[in-house]
Amino acid sequence: MTFAKKMMTATAALALTAGAAFADEMKNPMVGGAEMFADKNIVENAVNSADHTTLVAAVKAAGLVDTLAGEGPFTVFAPTNAGFDRLEPGTVEMLVKPENKERLTEILTCHVVGKAVMSDALQGMIKDDGGEHPVPTLGGCTLQASYADDGRMKLVDENGNAAFVEIADVKQSNGVIHVINGVMLPKQ
């Protein structure tokens, strides 16, 4: 094999390795047993997650499907079914009734930020602000982001309810999802 062919082979091997590393870096984590695709929007991915059936039903009941499937970019702190289960019994069933659509919309939009914020950027903001950073949401709520002693990112709503980020940086075509284990509520 000539030197030129060896160089071309080595260059091609490096390119394939770099491409595979880039693909691994771009690959999203699994959520609710489903693959999340960075080229699909928030709604298209969420409907496939077994851990987000309550959230998807609530988004539909609130009439927010078109919004969250829209251009964005959005950051969604997406409560799991278990997070919704932490609410008082009967709360979800009450909220999805048509007469409670306004309240449901307010609650859901307290989980949405009007720009894409990856966890490393939020971590930097928390550090720059001395350990806690205010996160204004589209629903008019301000969440406080910080880190727990065990290193998990923590969000606290205006009522003092806390939730932790279980899966961060799930890239979407119109933003990013951070899976959380609780529901953030507007000030009551």
pLDDT tens track of the chain, all 188 residues? 554 454 444 444 444 444 433 344 458 888 888 888 899 999 999 999 999 999 999 999 999 999 999 999 999 999 999 999 999 999 999 999 999 999 999 999 999 999 999 999 999 999 999 999 999 999 999 999 999 989 899 999 999 999 999 999 999 999 999 999 999 999 98
Distance of alpha carbon 41 from alpha carbon 69, whole angstroms: 6
For residue 137, give the 3-state DSSP assignment. Answer: coil
Residue 95 lies in a domain: yes
The domain in which residue 42 lies consists of 36-180
Q: Which two tokens stand for residue 90?
A: 């009967």
Residue 97 within any structural domain of the chain = yes
Structure tokens at 78: 């997406």
Residue 96 lies in a domain: yes
Q: HSE of 104 in the Cβ direction (CA atoms, 13 Å)?
A: 23
Instruction: For residue 68, tell me if it sits in a domain.
Output: yes
Q: What is the largest CA-CA distance in the chain?
A: 77
Q: Report d(CA 167, CA 178) in Å as an integer.
A: 6
CATH number for the domain that contains residue 59: 2.30.180.10
Residue 149 lies in a domain: yes
Domain count of the chain?
A: 1
| 2 located within any domain | no
